[in-house]
């Protein structure tokens, strides 16, 4: 049996555009000789549609789009991720997250998702009614189980397992399947490919049949879908695999395919994936919102350098503007490093000093500030004035302003709201500082792009004379470790201190994290590359007083 997998990149809500992509993929895969063609979850409307699902016409429009796609499907069947509208007499939520079996111009059957993720970035119980069991579809002489994404994430070792009271894989194991298909839109994070591969190999063993995993690719807001679709066979192992972070249309014969070599888990591959993920996420965010140009404030530091390098790969050097905005206290290297970076990247470079406008602002505030000491207020004025300049350039040149904050500084609030936090997309907001350094080295793997001095010098916001990050924060390796325990693992202060960290430092850091929730509330959306990013997957109260 020759299966065609359409690992495609759809846009949320773009029903006509998605239809064109789906039909083009279908026709190409038919030409490649596919006998059954598989698409990812919810491709007709893009994933995640979020509250578009609550609009009065949306589900009907998606259904109409699916109907018009189905009319173009020949006798080669296509299994297409879509919405199914429940009958109006039925209790519960009115929609299913479904897979439509389309064949000979019509929809022959729907498989419905059983397990609806409602954790992290997922809100599927907000919209959909769960099915009690997956569809088993008889096609020619084959019994095919049809599952959607989460339905197969029921292994005991998987973090989410305890959340569900039943197991669709268990139900399917009694069905004598010849093939299991899984349509997915599974947001990527680092290392996910390996746990996913292990999981699906387990499913293949439990069902004693091949499993086809067809995943979305592309960026939609914070989420990056990595593709990486594959087929696993109970005795042969992985017999087919598609590229990561790229659209791809491939045909595989599951009877004749043999075991292939798969990628090993190593730091170099992790960095490559992170790099490629950020490029895809940034490119799609820009292109899907009709920006061709990007603009970045260049401080001479590591964060803005990494963002500029990613942006240049994503949008092309001709489309990136780097802007240095030295103040009265900026170091010489802040300009020279920024300029060297721009030269290495071959991007436009502008230098707009801020001394005079900052002076003008301070003069006008002097009567209000009479008798009061200089403090963080004046530091913020510099950062915010830079925000005003960057946004003016963004407005005038219709260029997407990219923010450059990393996860460590956003966690502890070492960033100025309406200052360096200005921008439409936060490119590295899910990378702790040490990961930013690692990525910088990866970017320089074939030669210097990010100046060595940018990598070597001590990090500084340069908002007051001779300021260094480590004057007021612990060294980044320690900070990042504490933040990981607190934010991603949800550990308490005592539990973190028990891991060998100084309890005063732990208390200091955690207090900062909690106090700065209000800044993150107003942060730009950030590309998610970890299991728990700031953003839609982390929903903390802003005003709260829990201490532990």
Binders in 129-148 for a second copy, by CB under 8 A = none
> What Rg, from alpha-carbon coordinates, does the chain have?
25
Nearer to a second copy, 109 or 492 (CB): 492
| Residue 495 bears catalytic tag | no
Sites for a second copy among residues 508-537 (CB under 8 A): 518, 521-525, 536
Going by C-alpha positions, the residue among 42, 46, 47 that lies closest to residue 79 is 42
Could you say whether residue 541 binds a second copy (CB under 8 A)? yes
Residues 390-409, one symbol each (x = binds a second copy by CB under 8 A, - = not), give -xxx-xx-------------
- How many angstroms separate the CA atoms of 247 and 311, rounded? 20
Among residues 92, 105, 176, 475, which is the contact residue for a second copy, using CB under 8 A? Answer: 92
Sequential DSSP letters for 151-166: GG---TTSGGGGG-S-
| Minimum distance, C-beta of residue 74 to a second copy, in the bound complex (Å) | 28
| Residue 113 bears catalytic tag | yes
Q: Are 205 and 176 in contact (CB under 8 A)?
A: no
Among residues 57, 140, 157, 174, which is the contact residue for a second copy, using CB under 8 A? Answer: 57
**b/e map 518-531, b = 16+ CB within 10 Å:** ebbeebbbbbbbbe
Sites for a second copy among residues 102-121 (CB under 8 A): 118-119
Could you say whether residue 389 binds a second copy (CB under 8 A)? yes
Could you say whether residue 157 binds a second copy (CB under 8 A)? no
Nearer to a second copy, 452 or 499 (CB): 499
Contacts of 216 (CB under 8 A, 6+ apart): 7, 8, 9, 10, 40, 41, 43, 47, 184, 185, 186, 225, 227
Contacts of 369 (CB under 8 A, 6+ apart): 377
- How many angstroms separate the CA atoms of 306 and 320, rounded? 13
Could you say whether residue 302 binds a second copy (CB under 8 A)? no
Nearer to a second copy, 448 or 547 (CB): 547
Among residues 35, 72, 123, 175, which is the contact residue for a second copy, using CB under 8 A? Answer: 123
Sites for a second copy among residues 214-233 (CB under 8 A): 220-221
Site residue total, a second copy (CB under 8 A): 95
Q: Please, is 48 exposed, middle or buried when counting C-beta atoms within 10 Å of its C-beta (0-12, 13-18, 19+)? A: buried
Q: How far apart are the first and last CA of the chain?
A: 57
- Give φ, ψ of 211 to 5 degrees: -120, 130
| Minimum distance, C-beta of residue 222 to a second copy, in the bound complex (Å) | 9
Widest pairwise Cα distance in the chain: 87
Sites for a second copy among residues 440-469 (CB under 8 A): none
Q: Which of 2, 82, 103, 113 is catalytic?
A: 113
Of the ranges 85-93, 208-216, 272-280, 501-509, which one interacts with a second copy (CB under 8 A)? 85-93
Of the ranges 186-194, 242-250, 443-451, 485-493, which one interacts with a second copy (CB under 8 A)? 485-493
| Minimum distance, C-beta of residue 268 to a second copy, in the bound complex (Å) | 31
Residues 250-289, one symbol each (x = binds a second copy by CB under 8 A, - = not), give ----------------------------------xx--xx
Sequential DSSP letters for 76-135: S-EEEEEEEEPPTT--S-SEEEEEEEEETTEEEEEEE------STT--GGGTBPPPSS-E
3-state helix/strand/coil string of 343-393: HHHCCEEEECCCHHHHHHHHHHHHHHHCCCCCCHHHHHHHHHHHHHHHHHH
Helix-helix angle 302-315:332-345, to 10 degrees = 20
Could you say whether residue 46 binds a second copy (CB under 8 A)? yes
Q: Which residue carries 């292994």 as its tokens?
A: 155
Could you say whether residue 163 binds a second copy (CB under 8 A)? yes
Three-state DSSP class for residue 139: strand
| Minimum distance, C-beta of residue 360 to a second copy, in the bound complex (Å) | 4
Sites for a second copy among residues 490-509 (CB under 8 A): 490-492, 495
Contacts of 516 (CB under 8 A, 6+ apart): 410, 411, 412, 413
| Residue 149 bears catalytic tag | yes
Q: Which of 45, 82, 102, 149 is catalytic?
A: 149
Could you say whether residue 172 binds a second copy (CB under 8 A)? no
Of the ranges 27-35, 192-200, 254-262, 417-425, which one interacts with a second copy (CB under 8 A)? 417-425
Contacts of 393 (CB under 8 A, 6+ apart): 295, 321, 323, 350, 399, 401
Could you say whether residue 414 binds a second copy (CB under 8 A)? no
| Minimum distance, C-beta of residue 151 to a second copy, in the bound complex (Å) | 16
Sites for a second copy among residues 13-42 (CB under 8 A): 13-15, 17
Of the ranges 404-412, 432-440, 447-455, 484-492, which one interacts with a second copy (CB under 8 A)? 484-492
Residues 368-387, one symbol each (x = binds a second copy by CB under 8 A, - = not), give xx--x--xxx--xx--xx-x
Q: Please, is 89 exposed, middle or buried when counting C-beta atoms within 10 Å of its C-beta (0-12, 13-18, 19+)? A: exposed
| Minimum distance, C-beta of residue 61 to a second copy, in the bound complex (Å) | 6
Among residues 73, 80, 279, 417, which is the contact residue for a second copy, using CB under 8 A? Answer: 417
Question: Which residues are known to be catalytic?
Answer: 41, 113, 149
């Amino acid at each position: 049996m020759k299966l065609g997998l359409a690992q495609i990149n759809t846009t949320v809500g773009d029903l006509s555009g998605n239809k064109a992509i789906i039909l083009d993929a279908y026709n190409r895969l038919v030409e490649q000789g596919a006998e059954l063609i598989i698409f990812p979850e919810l491709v007709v409307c893009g994933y995640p549609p979020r509250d578009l699902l609550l609009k009065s016409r949306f589900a009907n429009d998606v259904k109409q789009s699916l109907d018009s796609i189905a009319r173009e499907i020949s006798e080669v069947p296509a299994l297409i991720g879509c919405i199914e509208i429940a009958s109006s007499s039925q209790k519960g939520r009115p929609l299913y997250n479904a897979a439509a079996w389309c064949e000979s111009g019509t929809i022959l059957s729907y498989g419905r998702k059983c397990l609806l993720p409602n954790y992290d970035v997922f809100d599927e119980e907000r919209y959909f009614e769960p099915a009690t069991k997956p569809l088993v579809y008889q096609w020619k002489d084959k019994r095919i189980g049809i599952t959607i994404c989460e339905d197969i994430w029921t292994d005991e070792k998987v973090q989410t397992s305890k959340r569900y009271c039943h197991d669709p894989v268990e139900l399917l194991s009694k069905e004598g399947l010849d093939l299991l298909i899984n349509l997915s839109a599974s947001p990527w994070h680092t290392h996910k490919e390996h746990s996913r591969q292990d999981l699906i190999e387990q499913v293949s063993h439990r069902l004693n049949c091949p499993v086809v995993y067809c995943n979305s690719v592309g960026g939609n807001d914070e989420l990056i879908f990595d593709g990486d679709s594959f087929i696993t066979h109970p005795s042969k192992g992985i017999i087919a695999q598609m590229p990561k972070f790229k659209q791809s249309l491939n045909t595989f014969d599951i009877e004749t395919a043999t075991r292939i070599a798969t990628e090993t888990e190593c730091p170099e591959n992790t960095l490559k994936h992170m790099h490629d993920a950020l490029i895809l996420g940034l490119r799609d965010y820009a292109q899907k919102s009709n920006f061709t140009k990007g603009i970045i404030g260049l401080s001479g530091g590591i964060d803005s350098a990494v963002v500029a390098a990613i942006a240049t790969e994503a949008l092309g050097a001709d489309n990136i503007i780097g802007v240095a905005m030295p103040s009265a206290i900026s170091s010489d290297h802040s300009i020279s490093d920024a300029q060297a970076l721009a030269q290495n990247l071959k991007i436009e470079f502008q230098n707009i000093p801020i001394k005079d406008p900052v002076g003008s602002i301070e003069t006008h505030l002097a009567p209000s500030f009479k008798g009061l000491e200089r403090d963080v207020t004046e530091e913020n004025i510099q950062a915010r004035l830079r925000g005003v300049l960057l946004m003016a350039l963004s407005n005038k040149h219709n260029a997407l302003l990219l923010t450059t904050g990393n996860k460590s500084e956003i966690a502890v609030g070492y960033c100025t709201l309406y200052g360096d936090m200005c921008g439409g997309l936060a490119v590295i907001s899910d990378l702790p500082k040490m990961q930013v350094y690692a990525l910088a080295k990866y970017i320089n793997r074939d030669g210097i792009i990010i100046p060595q001095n940018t990598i070597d010098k001590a990090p500084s916001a340069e908002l007051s004379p001779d300021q260094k990050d480590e004057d007021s924060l612990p060294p980044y390796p320690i900070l990042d470790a504490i933040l990981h325990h607190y934010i991603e693992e949800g550990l308490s202060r005592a539990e973190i201190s028990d891991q060998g960290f100084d309890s005063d430092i732990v208390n200091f850091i955690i207090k900062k994290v909690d106090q700065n929730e209000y800044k993150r509330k107003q942060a730009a959306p950030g590309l998610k590359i970890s299991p728990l990013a700031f953003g839609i997957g982390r929903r903390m109260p802003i005003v709260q007083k829990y201490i532990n």
